[in-house]
Amino acid sequence: METDELKGLRERALAQAAAAESLAALEQVRIAYLGRKGKIPALLKKLGQLPAEERREAGKVLNQLKRELAGLIEKRVGQLSSGEVRDEGRFDYTLPGAWRGLGTRHPVSRVIEEAVGIFRRLGFEVAEGPDVETEYYNFDALNTPEDHPSRDIQDTFYLESGGLLRTHTSPVQVRHMERHRPPVRIVAAGRCYRRDVPDATHSTNFHQIEGLYVNKRVSMSELKSDLAFFARELMGRKVQVRFRPHFFPFTEPSVEVDFSCHACGGKGCRLCKRSGWIEIAGAGMVDPSVLEAVDYDPEEYTGYAFGMGIERIAMIMFGINDIRLFYENDRRFLEQFGW
């Protein structure tokens, strides 16, 4: 074995280990020189054929190289795995990362969350009910028997199973009162369905948030002050609230609730159809027949209830002029209102 040959081997081995820029490349160097079929073990095997003098000298050099190379590889493994040396040639780590396109909250979800948050601060609990309802909960228990004309304006989709898609969130009132004794103070938000012809303000599918408060001596002034608080929290201090007489089978007296128009401050504009007011909710004092249907004594308890259209509120808050935009899943639209 020539000394020059061994010197050349040593230089190449150490240079390759120092130049390896990845753990995989380093492993290749290790296998080539130190592996079972590597260059150094092969030479060590040949030592036996050498004369004693030469064998000792070559053996010393080879074993030293073995330790030196193993030590260098170990050091480089440490550097490469701690990122001390970066593979700058192939990977530019200063480039911006890949944008994964995270979504935003849907404007309907956003309004629901804000509205529920405000009512929770007023001591309301959150309740829920199913989208597929029975005629009993959607109509009968709410004082709307089969031949009542109110059923006509809330026509819906009837299922072959006998159920129907709820036309409002009011059935949650009944379901909750059946299982709880007064006082009850709940809000329930969710999807509703009606057999309406879609246009800029109508959709067969929309959302409501229902409120119900039953206790001893609940009065209409509490309904008004709670809704006024809600309006101001949601829209700012300047918003006004007005009640207009109305009719619902399940409240008596009944009102429709308007907020002063957010866009024009009540002066009158296109959004509020020049009236300065926008209809937001139906509400009223819970009809005694509804309390009786859930075994509450109407002599002992009174309550108020309201139901608000979520899309309505979102349209005013964000200046959206067509309800159908909510359901088209166009991210260019949706991303403007979420967070």
Give the footprint of ligand PHE on this chain (CB under 6 A): 168, 170, 248, 251, 282-284, 305-307
Q: Encoding tokens for residue 249?
A: 């089978």
SS3 179: helix
Q: Shortest Cβ contact with ligand PHE: which residue? A: 307
Helices (H), 139-210: 150-153, 171-179
Helices first, then strands: H and E counts in the chain: 12, 9
State the nearest-atom distance from the C-beta of 94 to ligand PHE, in Å: 57
Q: Rounded CA gap, 272 and 6, in Å?
A: 93
Count the helix, strand and coil residues of the chain and give each as a percent rounded to the nearest 5: 45, 20, 35
CB-CB contact of 248 with 282 (8 Å): yes
Q: Shortest gap between Cβ of 168 and ligand PHE (angstroms)? A: 3
Q: How many other CB atoms are found less than 10 A from the CB of residue 159?
A: 11
Nearer to ligand PHE, 193 or 306 (CB): 306
Beta carbon nearer to ligand PHE, 16 or 170: 170
Shortest distance, position 192 Cβ to ligand PHE, whole Å: 7
- Pick the closer one to ligand PHE by CB: 266 or 284: 284
CB of 301 to ligand PHE, least distance (A): 16
Instruction: Write down the least CB distance from residue 308 to ligand PHE, Å.
Output: 8
Nearest to 204 by CA among 113, 331, 327: 327
Residues 6+ apart with CB under 8 A from 192: 165, 166, 167, 168, 169, 205, 206, 207, 208
List the Cα angle 237/241/244 in 5-degree steps: 175
Return all residues near 40 (Cβ < 8 A) that are at least 6 apart: 9, 13, 33, 34, 62, 65, 66, 69
Residue 158: DSSP 8-state: B
- State the nearest-atom distance from the C-beta of 193 to ligand PHE, in Å: 11
Nearer to ligand PHE, 305 or 334 (CB): 305
* CB nearer ligand PHE, residue 30 or residue 168: 168
Task: Give the nearer residue to ligand PHE in terms of CB position, either 20 or 281.
Answer: 281
What's the rounded Cα separation, in Å, for the pair 208 and 306? Answer: 10
Q: Which is nearer to ligand PHE, 192 or 239 (CB)?
A: 192
Q: Minimum CB separation from ligand PHE for residue 282, in Å?
A: 3
CB of 121 to ligand PHE, least distance (A): 21
Please report the beta strands in 55-148, taking only residues with DSSP state E, as ranges in sequence order: 125-126, 132-133
Give the residue with the Cβ less far from ligand PHE, 143 or 170.
170
